[in-house]
Each structure stands twice: as C-alpha cells, then as structure tokens.
Amino acid sequence: MAAEIIDGKAVAAEVRAQVARDVQAWVQAGNPQPGLATVLVGEDPASAVYIAGKRRACTEVGIADLHRHLPAHSTQQQVAELISELAADPGVSGILLQLPVPGQMQGNELTALIPPLKDVDGLTPMSAGLLAQGAPGLRPCTPAGVIALLDHAGVQIEGAEAVVVGRSDLVGKPVAALLLARNATVTVAHSRTRDLAAVCARADILIAAVGVPRLLGAQHVKPGATVIDVGINRTDAGLVGDVDFEAAAAVAGRITPVPGGVGPMTIAMLLRNTLSAAQLQAR
C-alpha cells in the first residue's frame, strides 16, 4: 500500500479539543455559554443513537445540551412552533432538527424555519444559497469536515483538479461549492455521468459521496491523488465506503479509511458551527 492514511478520528479529536478551549475562552470573556438544541421527533432508533452522540459531544466541550423531544404523533404545526420558540430564545445558539421526521411531516419545510444564524447543520435553503454565492454563513458539517481533512493533510486545494462523485444537497453539492470557493477546478460526477473512471482519473482530489459500496477502484484514481471517501455503507462484510480501499490505496497518495475517516468529522464540525453561531449572534 502506497498511500498515506488520513486519520479522521485523530483530526476530529483535535478539532473537538480546540472547540473545547475556544468555548472556555469565549465564556471566560464574559459571554453566555453556547447551547445546542437538538430536536428529535419520534422514536426512530438510529436517530436516537445519532442524537445521543451529538448531545454527549456537546457536554464534553462545554456547550449546553438543550435537547427537545416530541412524540411521533406530533403535528407539523407543533414541531414548527417548537422551532419558532427555539429560534426566538437567546439561550439557544444552534438548532438541529434530526431527519428523517415521521411520515406525516415535511422535513424540508420544518428545516427551512431554522434561522440562518442558528442553522448549525447548514442545510436550510438560505444557508445553501449563502454558500452558493460564496457569502459568509454556517456550512454543512460533513462537507466542512471534508475540507478540514484536506487542510489538515496539507493538500493544496487552490488550482487542483477536484472531482466530486455525488450531487446530493447533503454532501455532493456543498462539497463542490466549498472546493470552488477555495479555487479548485471542480467537476461534479453523478449517476448519469458517462465514463466515470475517465472523469475521476483526472482528479488531484477525488471525493466519493455516492452510497454504493466500493464503487471506485484503482482505475478511478490518478497516481498520487488524494481520495476522500464520504460513503458509509453497511454490508455483510461490515461498514465500507464508496471506495475500494485496498485497490485505491495502492495508487493514491493519500486516502481516508471507512470507518475512521470523514465520519468522525461531522460531529466535530457541528460543535465548531455551534460556537460560531453563538459568536455570529453576539455581533
């Protein structure tokens, strides 16, 4: 194996430790403690696990855990009222509505009620628009984590050929926008792309955000390229990414593993966003 492994777990731990120090300095300077309101509607077990991880992470770095839980039979109106209440509460720095919400609700419409300065997930239409225009704003956590990993690994983004495979609102599009904002030459590939291998093989920076186990192999990787695998796929062989790790690592210069690559960065960037939200609101 030739490639250097980018250790997302270690980078995430560093980010979390830095956020803890920054929160402490912020509070010691006389500012109120930042607080994150995670909102869970219903009893979805996977969502409950994700929320528990986010709440624990907040407490660890000194961010107040302002969790709210509504029953599964709640109405759209009740969730909307809760979000409006949190939006108006100066003690709440960030609001995160855990998706998916129960079937009777429109998750997109509820997310859109979160004001941009409290949108720590960075996924509302307003935040997406600010990102698309290159205006300041809170950025989506997983895409921000991808950029943080590239920076930590010392990868030159400016001028690089970057190929993003996947065009979701959650990962592909915002990663592409963030790379563009850093002056990469960005190509977005997707399920209708012709000759995916040829497109990917142009990339100095290859980002996989597809959701297909081990879709990208050695033939997709330019020798020496940096490969960031966002995919998290549960298979009989365990958790695997969108990249065939062994094959790609033989060609790449740097590569993230799954698990232990991008995954741990998401919560770390959520914590960073929550502190940033508190600071933006204090201006």
CA distance 109 to 97: 11
From 22, 54, 119, 244, active-site residue: 54
Site for ligand NAD in 9-68 (CB under 6 A): none
Residue 276, SS3 per DSSP:
helix
Residue 97 within binding range of ligand NAD, rule CB under 6 A: no
- The CA distance from 162 to 186, in Å, is 5
- As a residue count, the chain comes to 283
Residue 127: closest CA among 177, 80, 90, 165: 177
Catalytic residue among 22, 119, 121, 204: 121
Shortest CB 239 distance to ligand NAD, Å: 10
* Burial (CB count <10 Å: 0-12, 13-18, 19+), residue 198: exposed
- Three-class SS state of 160: coil
Considering only the stretches 81-89, 119-127, 204-212, 247-255, report the one whose residues sit in contact with ligand NAD under the rule CB under 6 A. 204-212
271 interacts with ligand NAD by CB under 6 A: no
List of residues 6+ apart from 170 with CB closer than 8 A: 123, 140, 142
Whether 42 contacts 101, CB under 8 Å:
yes
**Residues contacting ligand NAD: total by CB under 6 A:** 25
CB 147, min distance to ligand NAD, A:
13
User: Of the listed pieces 88-96, 112-120, 188-196, 273-281, which binds ligand NAD according to CB under 6 A?
Assistant: 188-196
Q: Which is nearer to ligand NAD, 110 or 258 (CB)?
A: 258
Residue 102 to residue 35: CA distance in whole angstroms: 25
Q: What angle do CA 20, 26, 31 make, to 5 degrees?
A: 135
- Draw the binding track, 151-170, toward ligand NAD (x: CB under 6 A; -: no contact): --------------xxxx-x
The answer to whether 174 contacts ligand NAD (rule: CB under 6 A) is no
Q: Is 151 a catalytic residue?
A: no
Residues found near ligand NAD in the complex (CB under 6 A): 142, 165-168, 170-172, 189-191, 193, 196, 209-212, 215, 230-233, 262-263, 266
The catalytic site residues sit at 54, 98, 121
